[in-house]
Structure 1
Amino acid sequence: MAVVNDTATAPVIRQACSGYRAEGAQARAGIILALPATLLLGALVIGPAVLVLVLSFTDASLGLAGMRFVGLDNYARMLSDPGFALSLHNTALYVFAVVPVSIGWGLLVALLIARSRLSAVYRTAYFLPVAASLVALATAWEAILHPSLGVANTLLQLFGGSPVRFLSDPTMVIYALAGVGIWQLVGFNMILFLAGLSTIPEELYEAAAIDGADRGLKRFLLVTWPMLAPVTLFVTVMTVIRAFSVFETVAVLTQGGPMKSTTVILYTFYEEGFRFFRVGYASAIAVSFFVFVTLLSLIQMRLSDRRAGARTRRGRS
């Protein structure tokens, strides 16, 4: 009887072993196929990120042979550095000017063109600044804002105004850059809001119409705005991150001037690392900025998950 059982179970055992070998071969093949992409990711993303983190704890400087481990000295220096405090102040002014206007304008444009027959044309026109090169756009704006030959001052003079030194007046220049930033971000926010508007069921608008909110502000406040809440949260976080990341327009238009009135965080990082060659301090700025952006993203994800969970519970009840 034992011989019969062994004979009967042998094919099953062989089949199981062959299945395990096949699965092992597939796993090895998957590893081999993923290895080049993994190595490339490590070389171009993970490796440099780890290197910057390590350098942020040193006094490394380009041109000097050695470096010392200084612990948190670079981070402590950021808290007492008046230059970094000024860059934070300038960045905050830029963010507070850009974020609410670009979000509100993007939402307004999305609402206006959502049902327009020329929606595709308007989308293309507003999205062009997003798709084009920021350096090229900044160069174009430099010509537009020129104090004597620019289109902006020409129009001001036609309407009886006085020429404005958009890029050389320390009290004006950060808001001129904010205007460029708003122009760049409106199209991006518009596309996101249009995507959110397309997901709102028509049945909600029909139900609102029965309750008397068939158009205008009532319809917007009763249906559109609550349904756009997740998209608005995402747009707000992305706009804040992009506003804090301003660099190209500053580098092309003002180089941090005049009188350091447009020296923002990323331009300070650029100057410390590539002009003054203080690599350790620049790395600390980069790490701090990365942590800030990561925290914003995690908060956005947490709030979105909480809202989705609340919506699911309401649906079940």
Structure 2
Amino acid sequence: MRNRALTDLVLAGPAALVVILFIFLPVAVVFVLAFTDYQVGARSANWIGIENFATLFGSRQGRNALLNTVVYAGIVIPASVGLGLLVAMGLHRLTDILPRLSAVLRTVYFLPVAATLVAMAVSWQMLLHPSLGLINTWMSVLGLAPQQWLSDRGLVLYTLAAIGIWQSVGYNMVLFLAGLATIPTALYDAAAVDGADRGWSRFWTVTWPMLGPTTLFVVIVTAVNAFRVFETVATMTKGGPAFASDTIVYALYREGFVYFKAGYASAITVVFFLALLLLTALQIMLVERRVHYR
């Protein structure tokens, strides 16, 4: 037993030590700093209790960042999951008819996932330029009024959400394609015998139930990515105009790495972590009840 325990310790010990030092220990430090007024470079810090959290939820700027994040996620999650499923089903059927065209379209849809997001954000900035951008040029040709996509307070958040959907659809498509490939054809044959041989009846009877585990995973991953949106905001708007596109993660970056308010940034981190934990738990509890595992 001792030899076995020693072997287990040698094999698992280094990895466990790395996890403790680089994951659990930093998390514990962040939770402690969230209740202090510590600033980067200061020699000491004062214990201020929940003052940082009160500032976050009590200030207009803090509430705005939270609300913008919720609105962004509320748009991106259902749209990117729904479009990813729709594209995957279309390409799955196209594979049997035109396999080469299906392969090309898969590459095109997956390109935003494989490309560097910062580079793509710069490209979107050029496309959305108010006077030189291709999108406004097309709108003028169609007789529509050009828009200030990134400088209009009423449009900027929805513009970023559209880019987030564009970014996420390809990844979700790949996951749904993998799920569709695992559905046995015998189930469709059995459903056809019972009258569910086409269209929505075939989808609701066989496809959707069998995609349950895949859908649960896609929803969780998409939700996490949507709530931690940062690159597009930092590259394209920096939270503006007038904090109209400010999000919780960008606020964390600004307070911690621009203003060096480590205590306040830690409080934002704690709120963000707990919100993601709660969201994931709710998704698992509500969605997993309808998931069928084979």
With the length of structure 2 as denominator, give the TM-score of the two structures: 0.90
Q: Which amino acid aligns with 2:111?
A: L
Distance 1:225 1:231 in 2: 10
Which one of 60, 65, 74 corresponds to residue 82 of structure 1? 60
1:211 corresponds in structure 2 to 194
1:101 corresponds in structure 2 to 79
1:198 corresponds in structure 2 to 181
2:216–2:284 Cα contact (<8 Å) kept: no
Alpha-carbon distance, 1:148 to partner: 1.6
Which one of 264, 275, 281 corresponds to residue 298 of structure 1? 281
1:234–1:300 Cα contact (<8 Å) kept: no
Which one of 61, 72, 91 corresponds to residue 69 of structure 2? 91
For 1:152-231, list aligned pairs within 5 A: 152-231=135-214
Structure 1 segments unaligned to the other structure (5+ residues)? 1-22
Distance 2:110 2:247 in 1: 26
Which one of 271, 274, 284 corresponds to residue 267 of structure 2? 284
1:125 corresponds in structure 2 to 108
2:33 corresponds in structure 1 to 55
Is the radius of gyration larger for structure 1 or structure 2?
1
Distance 2:37 2:76 in 1: 35
Per-residue CA deviations over 1:67-125 (Å, capped at 9, x if unaligned) read: 01122222232221211111122112212221221111111101100132133332222
Moved over 6 A (4+): none
Q: Which amino acid aligns with 1:281?
A: Y
User: Are positions 1:151 and 2:127 aligned together?
Assistant: no
Distance 2:277 2:70 in 1: 18
Distance 2:35 2:83 in 1: 43
Alpha-carbon distance, 1:178 to partner: 0.7
1:106–1:189 Cα contact (<8 Å) kept: yes
Per-residue CA deviations over 1:218-253 (Å, capped at 9, x if unaligned) read: 211222122223322332222222111111000000
Distance 1:123 1:306 in 2: 32
Distance 1:185 1:66 in 2: 43
Aligned-partner SS, 1:114: helix
Aligned-partner SS, 2:132: coil
1:70 corresponds in structure 2 to 48
2:212–2:290 Cα contact (<8 Å) kept: no
After superposing the two structures, state which structure 1 stretch, 261-270 or 64-73, moved more. 64-73
With the length of structure 1 as denominator, give the TM-score of the two structures: 0.84
1:230–1:304 Cα contact (<8 Å) kept: no
Alpha-carbon distance, 1:290 to partner: 0.9
Alpha-carbon distance, 1:305 to partner: 5.9
Q: Which amino acid aligns with 2:194?
A: D
1:275 corresponds in structure 2 to 258
Aligned-partner SS, 2:235: helix
After superposing the two structures, state which structure 1 stretch, 244-253 or 204-213, moved more. 204-213
Structure 2 segments unaligned to the other structure (5+ residues)? none
User: Are positions 1:232 and 2:215 aligned together?
Assistant: yes
Distance 1:237 1:36 in 2: 30
Q: Among all aligned residue pairs of Structure 1 and Structure 2, give the percentage whose two residues are the same amino acid.
A: 49
After superposing the two structures, state which structure 1 stretch, 249-258 or 205-214, moved more. 205-214
User: Are positions 1:110 and 2:79 aligned together?
Assistant: no
Alpha-carbon distance, 1:212 to partner: 2.7
Q: Which amino acid aligns with 2:50?
A: L
Alpha-carbon distance, 1:28 to partner: 2.5
Which one of 262, 265, 269 corresponds to residue 248 of structure 2? 265
Q: Which amino acid aligns with 1:173?
A: V
Per-residue CA deviations over 1:12-70 (Å, capped at 9, x if unaligned) read: xxxxxxxxxxx533532442344443333333222221111111111111243210112
Cα-Cα RMSD: 2.1
Distance 2:228 2:56 in 1: 18
